[in-house]
Amino acid sequence: MSSENLIVLPQTKQLIGLYSIIRDNATKRGDFVFYSDRIIRLLVEEGLNQLPVEDAVVKCYGDHEYKGSKFLGKICGVSIVRAGESMEQGLRDCCRSVRIGKILIQRDEETALPKLFYEKLPEDIHERYVFLLDPMLATGGSAMMAVEVLLSRGVKMDRIFFLNLLAAPEGIETFQAKYPQVKIITGGIDERLDEHKYIVPGLGDFGDRYYCI
């Protein structure tokens, strides 16, 4: 695993406390959503910390000036439907008018491989930093397909930030082998994948738990 492009949120007791709630299969949906949202917010903030800013002279109240920073404002969220959409609000909470594109990838019933069904992305996405949103990085299949879509639209690989709540070592390995310059920002790395390609110990199907199906 490349550590340079793998950013794991500091594993504070607070954070582990939050994960203890959302991993628990006895946790009710309201709490699951609330505490997931808090983790998502931390992921988004970490992502924003990675973005460059430009120097700017800030005129303070009281006519004092100092050399501050200005956001470049060239970001864009891309969520992988459906679970990734749960992270859009967290992004909006930090960047009010951020553009958000969507990609729908589903497993093809015949080939059992992920297949791109739909994409809707901002026209100028190639000029932007992209926050790719998908809560779980298990095998990395759909995320890699999404990155492929982004690259085909001219997005630079080192401008892609893949935000997820939980990742499996196998997934990170495969993903980074193919897209070494994409930055993975995750809240935690679990032990492994089981024979059904679920993350162990994991937290269940994020989309199902978040959207209550």
Partner 1 sequence: MVTHKGHRIHPDDENTSFFSPSPVPSFSGSGIQSRDNIHLASSLSLNDSSKLTRSNSVATNADIPSYTPPWTTPYIIGVAGYSGSGKTSISQRIIQELNQPWTILLSFDNFYNPLNKEQRQQAFDCEFDFDEPASLDFDLLCECVSSLKAGNKTEIPNYSFVDHNRTGKSSTIYGANVIIIEGIYALYDQRLLDMMDVKIFVDTDLDICLGRRLSRDILDRGRELMGAIKQWEKFVKPNAVRYVMHTMNNADLVIPRGMDNIVGINMMIKHIQNQLSLKSELHLEHLQRLGLTHDLNLSKKENIKILPSTNHTNGVNSILLSKDTDRTDFIFYFDIIAFKIIEHALEFLTEFEENIPISTYGNYTYNGMKSKDEIIAVNIIRSGDCFMSSVKKTFPEIAIGKLLIQSDSMTGEPQLHTESLPKSIKNVSKTGRKIFLFDAQIISGAASIMAIQVLVDYGISVKDIILCSYLSTEIGIRRIIHAFPDVKLVLGKVSSMNSSQEEGLVRGEVVDKIDGYNLEGFKDTDWVFSNRYIDSLYFGTD
Q: 9 and 42 in contact (C-beta within 8 Å)?
A: yes
Of 127, 126, 77, the residue nearest 100 (C-alpha): 77
Residue 111 beta carbon to partner 1: minimum distance, rounded to whole angstroms: 25
Of 31, 107, 192, 194, which is the active-site residue?
107
Give one DSSP letter per residue of 161-194, joined into a string.
EEEESEE-HHHHHHHHHH-TTSEEEES-B-SEE-
Least Å distance, CB 171 to partner 1, is 16
If one asks whether residue 19 binds partner 1 (CB under 8 A), the answer comes out as yes
The pair of structure tokens assigned to 202 is: 């994991």
Neighbours of 24 (CB within 10 A): 13
* 124 is known as an active-site residue: no
Residues in 34-63 at the binding interface with partner 1, rule: CB under 8 A: 34, 38, 41-42, 45, 48-53, 56, 58-63
Output the six-digit token pair for 191: 């032990």
The correct pick among 2, 89, 197, 201 for binding partner 1 (CB under 8 A) is: 201
Residue 93 appears among annotated catalytic residues: no
We find the least distance from the C-beta atom of residue 17 to partner 1, in angstroms, to be: 5
Catalytic sites, residue numbers = 107, 111, 205, 208
